[in-house]
Amino acid sequence: MTDPELCFLPATRLAAAIADGEISSREATEAFLAQIERVNPRVNAVVTLVAEQALDAAARADDHAANNDDLPVLHGVPMLHKDVHDTAGIRTTQGSPIFADHVPATDDLVIERLHAAGVITLGKTNVPEFAAGSHTFNPVFGRTDNPYDTSRSAGGSSGGQTVALATGMTPLGDGTDLGGSLRNPAAFCNVVGLRPSPGRVPQAPDSFGQYTLTTSGPLARSVDDVALLLSAMAGPDLRAPASLSDPGSRFRSVPEVDPRQLRVAVSADFGGRFGVDPQIVGAVRQAAETLASLGVRVDETLPDLRDADEVFRTRRAWQFASNLGRVVDRHPERVKKSVHDNVAAGRALTVTDLTRAMVRGERLYQRMREFFTGYDALLVPTTQVLPFDAELEYPTEIAGKPMANYLEWMRSCSDITATGMPALSLPGGFSTEGWPIGVQLVAGPRADLRLLSVAKVLEQATRYADRRPGVLDDPAG
C-alpha cells in the first residue's frame, strides 16, 4: 500500500488495521507526515508540525499494542488538531499574533479525551483570527486555500481541518462550531462536519459554561468516521456543567435504518427567508429526490424559525464580549476590526436585550421540539454561497443581492445554531465550476444518532465524498 492510499483509508479501517497489527502506528504516522510534506505547501492548512514527537509517540503505541489486547478506540491513529484547542507543550495560537508563541501547559478537555482514546498528535491546523469568521486567514500564518480550487475560500473557522481531511493529511479532525464553523468548511471542502447537540462533547475550560453557543465536534470524510471520532469525544464530564450523560461508546457505529420508515422535511431555500445560490438550491432538491427514490417520505416544509437570527446575534455578541473583551482592551491594535465590532456589540447589549433573547430562544427550541415529533430530519442548505473568491474577507452578495451585514451570508447555519438542534453537513454535489456543495441535515433534540443514520442513508446513495480534490493531481502547483 502506498502512502497516499494509506492516507485515504477510512478512519474506521485504519484504526482496525493498527489495532490488528496489519499496519503499525509508526507506518501510518510516517505516511501522513509524508502527505503533509507533499501537499501542505499548496494549501497552507497545517501550521504547526511536531513530527519527531509524533513518531516517538507512535513507537510507544506500537510497543503498547504488542503487549496488550485491550486498546482504546483510536489507538495509534495519527491526527491533526484545530489551532484553537490548547495542546500541552505544542503551540496554540488561535490565529492571533498576540498568541503567536503561546505554548499551553495543559490540554483542553477535547484533546485530553483524544489522547486517552489513543490518538497520535501530528500538529495543528489553521483558523481565522480567534476563529472569528468563516474564511480561514490570519496575520500569523496567512490563508488556507480550497483544495478543489485554490483561488476559492476553504470556509472556516475549521478550514484548516477540512482542507487537511480532503487532501489526506489527517484521517480525522476535531473542530468547533459557533455559527457554522464545523458545517461551513465541510461544505466548501467536500467532507462531513457534525455540530452535535449542545453538551454532547463537553468543553473545558469554557468561561461561558452552560450558556455557550459554541460546541466542539468531529470532522471526517464519511459519516461512519464522524461517528467513530464522536465516540471518543462525547460523554459526561463534571468540569463541563452542560455535558450530557450518554457515554461516548453509544456513537461508535451508526445504526442501519430502513429508508421507508423515515420522514424528512425539506426546504431547498429556507422558505425564501434569505438568499441562497441557485446551484445550492438545486443540490438540496436533488438530495430530496434521492431520498424519495429510496422510499423516504419527503415533505416540503420548514419549522418556524422566527427570532432565530436575533437570538443568535444577541447571544453571539454577548459571548464575544465576555470571552474577548479583555483581549481587545489590552491589545486594541493587534486585533482585527470584526472582533472589535463583535465585542462592542456585546457590550452595548442591555438586560432587556439578553432577557428577550433567552425567552425567544426557549420558545424557538420548543417549536423545534414539536416540529421533530413528526420528522426524523430536516434537509436544508448548509451554506448560502458557493466557495467564494479567497481574496475577499467574506462574500458581499448572493445571486446578485447585496448582503446587509457580515453575518447575513451565514444564516443557513447560524439560524440552526440558535435552535439548539444537532446538525450535519454532508457532501451534496458540485457546482458547474467543480466546487463542492454541502447539504445540511438537522435532527430533533439530542437525536445525534438518528441524525447520523439519516445522513448515512443519503451518503450511501450519492457518494459525492469519493471525488478527491484537484490539488492532489498537482501538489507542487
> What are the residue numbers of the active site?
82, 157, 181
Nearest to 342 by CA among 308, 309, 312, 319: 319
Instruction: Quickly count: other Cβ atoms within 10 Å of residue 222's Cβ.
Output: 23
How many Å apart are CA 124 and CA 83, to the nearest integer? Answer: 5
Supply the DSSP symbol for 204: S
Residues with Cβ within 8 Å of residue 306, at least 6 apart in sequence:
364
How many Å apart are CA 288 and CA 210, to the nearest integer? Answer: 35
Helix, coil or strand: residue 255:
coil
State phi, psi for 124 to the nearest 5 degrees. Answer: -130, 155
Instruction: Quickly count: other Cβ atoms within 10 Å of residue 252's Cβ.
Output: 16
The residue whose grid cell reads 491533526 is: 80
Under 8 Å between Cβ of 382 and 273: no
Nearest to 251 by CA among 18, 382, 61, 422: 422
Under 8 Å between Cβ of 194 and 182: yes
How many Å apart are CA 387 and CA 72, to the nearest integer? Answer: 37
Give the helix ranges, DSSP H, for 173-307: 183-189, 223-233, 278-293
State phi, psi for 41 to the nearest 5 degrees. Answer: -60, -25
What's the grid cell of residue 42?
Answer: 499548496
Under 8 Å between Cβ of 179 and 410: yes
Helix, coil or strand: residue 48:
strand
Under 8 Å between Cβ of 217 and 182: yes
Radius of gyration from C-alpha coordinates of the chain: 21
